[in-house]
Structure 1
Amino acid sequence: MMMKRVKKHISGISKGAPSGFIASLAIHAAVLFLAGMLVVFNVVKKEEKKFVPPKPVDRPKMKLKKPKVKIKKSAQPRLTHRIVTKVQKAGIPEIQLPEMSGIDGMLPGDIGGFEILPDTEELTVFGSGQTIGSDFVGTFYDLKRDRRGRTIPMDPDNFAIIMGNFVRRGFRTSVLAPYYRSPKKLYATTVCIPPLQSALAPQAFGEDDTLGYCWAVHYSGQLVYPEDIRFRFWGMGDDMLVVRVDGEIVLIANWPDGVVEASMASLWSSSSADSRKYPLGNNTSVVGDWIELKAGEPLDMDVLIGEAPGGIFAALLCVEVDGVEYERNPYMNGPRLPIFKTARPSLDLVDVIHVDLNEGEASVREGPIFNDLARTEGDSTRRIEPVTVTVHPVPPSNRETENRLRNWTVKGKTIEAELVTRLGRQLLLKNTRNKQVRVSMADISNADRLYVELADPPAFNINFSRISEQRPPPPQSPFLNEDQRHIRISDYKFGVRIRQKTSDEYNHPVTVEYFALAKEVSGDKFKLIERRRETFIPSEENGRSFEFHGKKVRLKEYATRQLGNPRGLDYGGYLVTLTDTNGRIIQHETSHEFLFRYLENLKKLKIGSYLNERCERVTPTRPDKSNYYSP
């Protein structure tokens, strides 16, 4: 009997399986994969945390008191005092070894300690560039140019018409709007401009290229006094001086019989019998109307000055207080009145005015001061004494000093001796038994080595330089029929060049300071016109030399009358000092030995001060009689 073979079937996917089955299987697999992803994302995603602030904590509060600061009221700013380094008396034992921190990390060849001493802005009779609060603001107009600065036709007749219209219409600035107005303002506490060449006037406002005719300056401010006062102005203008108070004209003191006077003749006239009777400046003065001021009640005030044809310009405004007796002018017996002022004049301003103001014509510092704090000043200009100073002899240079005993450290041992001299890298010392000992520089301590370097500085060549450039005189006004008066303008630039004579190392600061002076053309006084100092360290990198220069300084020489003597300033001399790190002068060079002899006095003076041959401050030489007005 035959048996049948039974085949065992194994379940699985076999080749040639139906495609529908395979597609169904793929779909199920995809569904399972997506479901797994959803589960994963749901697990990973974290719930955002919400911040719950804690409950506020009560803290005790301190009661703070508002600090009270006392403020001192002042009618005018205090003068700035320059602090200068005193020169110590020379003597080797007095040398103090400098700390390295004092050099501020300077390396050899670096320039350190740079300093320009305060250079105050030039003060003129027209005002200065800085206000003190009680001054009048001055605006300069040039009627020969339009408002953009372009030249336009202008002559004295048309100038007079325009200025007359300006006064007639109540000083409305719109009348002068078509003409050039300088951007530079000046602040004046006085209206006291002695006779000067009108070509120099625009330069005070930085208008060096403006010709000296058909220009005007309008000052505006407030008239106030701390007490009730009754007074009147006296004035003289060449060509124009007009004063208006509280909207009313109180004085017109224009040049008599001039075109400006004719344009304003109908606007105001003096009622005083003393008008046009006494000399002031370069003509006679006009007496104004009486003015009554109530204590502390300010009134608006305007002052107008200007020049029509050119030549000489002047504007002087004085004050007569009702009931006050004044000294008589030694020239034609007129009253010696105080000038109008709104602040106590500084010595600098007094000098600027006195340079060209005839002696005895007016008092600069006495009389009322028109602000709400000051009162009447006593006369202090009759004779201003030189500044009282204690004259200290200038210490001699180190080469002139005698060495004294000190302790030296030589090869670790201490000896007491004095330095006799230095011979290259060798020292010659003298001990307490008067025995001379030769010591090598390599065997002494660093402190001793520093002492020797400071005690025996190298010699320097000192060259003071001055570069001068003579400027052409201002062009003559086309409306003058006379020869131009003498005028010379020179620009100077000063400087110093220092060079060490030897190649010895001297790695210590050296302060170089110079003083430049001018001298009066018609007097014997000097004027300090520049002072500068800088510090350097001699080194191989800078060739052991140093050079620096100052700013341009302008000097003028002029005459205000055809036959008058010239006045002004010319170059006068210099002083250069070299000072070591201990403040001891190691060398100097000068044109006049008195400058070095009285150096301590010289250091006390401000730029612009006049001085004598003891370096004491004095007033400038006043004009001689050739400059007085003669009717």
Structure 2
Amino acid sequence: MSLHIDMTNEAAHAMHIQKIRNMVTAISTAVLSTILGGLLLYTVAIVIRQQDPPSLEAITVNNEQLPPTPAPVIAERAVIRPASAAANPPSIISSTAYSPEITIPYNEIQNTDVHDFNESLPLSAEDMGDGVGVDTNWQQTREFGSDVPGGSTLTGTFYDFKQTAAGSPTNITPDQAALLMKDFITSGWHESKFAKYYKSPTKLYNSHIFITRRAATEAPKAFKCEGKVKDSRWCAIYRGKVAAPKSGTFRFVGAGDDAIVVRFDGKNVFDYGWYQLTVTKGGATAGGEYYKYMTGQSKNDVIKKELRKAGIYKNFPVPMYKYTGMNHWNNALGGLATGAEFTVEANKVYPIEILVSEIPGGEMGAILLIEEIGAKDVKKDKQFGSPILPLFRTNYALPEPAKGEAPPFDPVGIIWKAVKS
């Protein structure tokens, strides 16, 4: 006898209904999970990605145009050494948030054996002054300065000795012009000495002297008097006050065609070129007895007395630096001369005057570097072994790449910031 059990119709119907409900629930759960996952992906990939990141604005600041600061503010910075001089002033990257220090990156980062004087290049928000000017004539006047005032710069004034202030000819000779400038330089740098002569109404503002050999007509062109002034018997005087970026002993290094003379802290500390204006009797001194005595080729006691009286050169022979590719300067002048040593205190302000002149006419040029006494790890010229030095400069601007003969220079160096009187 067997027992047979069958499901009733009611039970089978209830089980079928439950099966359908379970299937609907599973499908609904899957659909909702897919929708929620999609919303999550949309939030991450679309909404968050579309949020604007903090904006950075790149602005190129022409440091030659910054207004002078009322007092020196020397801050430290880590040195990044470029391999060669940048053609343009460095760019500054800034955001809308205030930062007390702005880092200046160089375009090239290598060549770590270039000497930086172990010192910082300061640039803070205070250095920006009241605004940044734009000079539409910048490329035309760059070597001699900009005609837009402001910035950490020296102020240049241009004189023509061939004519009076009213424009009448003076008939001054080259020798007489040299003696006129000698009197000016050795009697206190009073520009009243030049009051009777023509002065350009345009002043130029420059941070360094690195004028490669060029036609002497470029100077009156830069000072906007080329139609009135010829290429000879003129001078440009750059004046200002600079803050010493560090304590130490320094000397200027350079040469002028025809002349470059520097007075620092009230003392003549550099004078070398085709004319040495502190000792000239009117004529050019290049290659003559002064040069021979300075380089140890002569023992002329009269020359020695005159050089010592000028107060710049006391120890002989005077160190001279030759550089590769400067054949004209090397052969005619023995290269660049070193000036008198002077000692400064960090942050102390010193007056400075620089005179540049062309006397007979034709071509001209002027170079002014600076050397720290006792500096270490200085890069050397491969041919002559002379130290590759930085420019003397009052801001970060660098010269355009040299088109003629010019010494190499270290593009990283301390800044002698110009300050208001």
Q: Which range, TM-score by smaller chain?
A: 0.5 to 0.7
- Select which of 193, 198, 222 maps to 1:204: 222
SS in 2 for 1:289: coil
What is the TM-score with the length of structure 1 in the denominator?
Answer: 0.39
CA offset digits 1:193-246 (Å, max 9, x no partner): 111111222111011122111000111111312331321111101111111111
CA offset digits 1:59-102 (Å, max 9, x no partner): xxxxxxxxxx9997332469979xxxxxxxxxxxxxxxxxxxxx
State the match for 2:359 in structure 1: 308
SS in 2 for 1:213: coil
CA distance in 2, matches of 1:272, 1:363: 25
CA offset digits 1:501-551 (Å, max 9, x no partner): xxxxxxxxxxxxxxxxxxxxxxxxxxxxxxxxxxxxxxxxxxxxxxxxxxx
CA distance in 1, matches of 2:200, 2:321: 36
SS in 2 for 1:363: coil
SS in 2 for 1:212: coil
State the match for 1:335 in structure 2: 387
Give the counterpart letter for 1:323 in structure 2.
G
SS in 2 for 1:336: coil
State whether residues 143 and 154 of structure 1, in contact with CA within 8 Å, keep that contact through their aligned partners in structure 2.
yes
Which structure shows the bigger proportion of residues in helix conformation?
A: 2
- Specify whether residues 226 and 338 from structure 1 end up closer, same or farther in structure 2 by C-alpha distance, changes over 3 A only: closer
Percent of aligned pairs with the same amino acid: 26
Give the counterpart letter for 1:367 in structure 2.
G
SS in 2 for 1:138: strand
CA distance in 2, matches of 1:350, 1:277: 21
SS in 1 for 2:310: coil
- Select which of 340, 351, 354 maps to 2:402: 354
CA distance in 1, matches of 2:167, 2:232: 16
State whether residues 249 and 372 of structure 2, in contact with CA within 8 Å, keep that contact through their aligned partners in structure 1.
yes
State the match for 2:90 in structure 1: none
State the match for 2:411 in structure 1: 365
Give the counterpart letter for 1:343 in structure 2.
N
CA distance in 2, matches of 1:118, 1:216: 24
Q: In the alignment, is residue 179 of structure 1 matched against residue 203 of structure 2? A: no
Q: Could you say which structure has the greater relative contact order, defined with CA pairs below 8 angstroms and 6 or more residues apart? A: 2
State whether residues 230 and 291 of structure 1, in contact with CA within 8 Å, keep that contact through their aligned partners in structure 2.
yes
SS in 2 for 1:206: coil
Aligned length: 264
CA distance in 2, matches of 1:248, 1:316: 20
Which residues in structure 2 correspond to 1:12-91 (within 5 Å)? Answer: 73-76=125-128
State the match for 1:275 in structure 2: 319
State the match for 1:601 in structure 2: none
CA apart distance, 1:354 = 2.7
Give the counterpart letter for 1:158 in structure 2.
Q
State the match for 1:320 in structure 2: 371
Which structure shows the bigger proportion of residues in strand conformation?
A: 1
Give the counterpart letter for 1:184 in structure 2.
T
CA apart distance, 1:357 = 5.1
CA offset digits 1:117-152 (Å, max 9, x no partner): 994644421111123332110000000010112222
- Specify whether residues 119 and 289 from structure 1 end up closer, same or farther in structure 2 by C-alpha distance, changes over 3 A only: closer
- Select which of 153, 157, 161 maps to 1:143: 161
CA apart distance, 1:364 = 5.5
State the match for 1:188 in structure 2: 206
State the match for 2:188 in structure 1: 170
CA distance in 2, matches of 1:230, 1:167: 23
CA distance in 1, matches of 2:405, 2:234: 23
CA distance in 2, matches of 1:303, 1:249: 10
- Specify whether residues 336 and 121 from structure 1 end up closer, same or farther in structure 2 by C-alpha distance, changes over 3 A only: closer
CA distance in 1, matches of 2:311, 2:194: 21
State whether residues 251 and 340 of structure 2, in contact with CA within 8 Å, keep that contact through their aligned partners in structure 1.
yes
Structure 2: which 5+ residue stretches go unaligned?
A: 1-97, 101-123, 291-302
State whether residues 296 and 372 of structure 1, in contact with CA within 8 Å, keep that contact through their aligned partners in structure 2.
no
CA distance in 2, matches of 1:76, 1:364: 25
SS in 2 for 1:350: coil
State the match for 1:291 in structure 2: 342
State whether residues 244 and 250 of structure 1, in contact with CA within 8 Å, keep that contact through their aligned partners in structure 2.
yes
CA distance in 1, matches of 2:418, 2:203: 24
Q: In the alignment, is residue 239 of structure 1 matched against residue 291 of structure 2? A: no
CA distance in 2, matches of 1:233, 1:319: 4
- Specify whether residues 134 and 229 from structure 1 end up closer, same or farther in structure 2 by C-alpha distance, changes over 3 A only: farther
Q: Over alpha carbons, which structure has the higher Rg?
A: 1
Structure 1: which 5+ residue stretches go unaligned?
A: 1-68, 82-116, 374-631
CA apart distance, 1:260 = 5.2
CA apart distance, 1:335 = 1.6
State whether residues 240 and 418 of structure 2, in contact with CA within 8 Å, keep that contact through their aligned partners in structure 1.
no
Q: Please report the RMSD computed on the Cα atoms of aligned residues, expressed in angstroms.
A: 3.2
SS in 1 for 2:246: coil
- Specify whether residues 119 and 175 from structure 1 end up closer, same or farther in structure 2 by C-alpha distance, changes over 3 A only: closer
CA offset digits 1:556-608 (Å, max 9, x no partner): xxxxxxxxxxxxxxxxxxxxxxxxxxxxxxxxxxxxxxxxxxxxxxxxxxxxx
State whether residues 195 and 312 of structure 1, in contact with CA within 8 Å, keep that contact through their aligned partners in structure 2.
yes
CA distance in 1, matches of 2:311, 2:171: 29
What is the TM-score with the length of structure 2 in the denominator?
Answer: 0.57
CA offset digits 1:330-389 (Å, max 9, x no partner): 3433221111101011xxx432x533353xx2325222111279xxxxxxxxxxxxxxxx
CA distance in 2, matches of 1:80, 1:304: 28
State whether residues 350 and 364 of structure 1, in contact with CA within 8 Å, keep that contact through their aligned partners in structure 2.
no
Give the counterpart letter for 1:254 in structure 2.
G
CA distance in 2, matches of 1:302, 1:340: 13
CA apart distance, 1:277 = 4.8
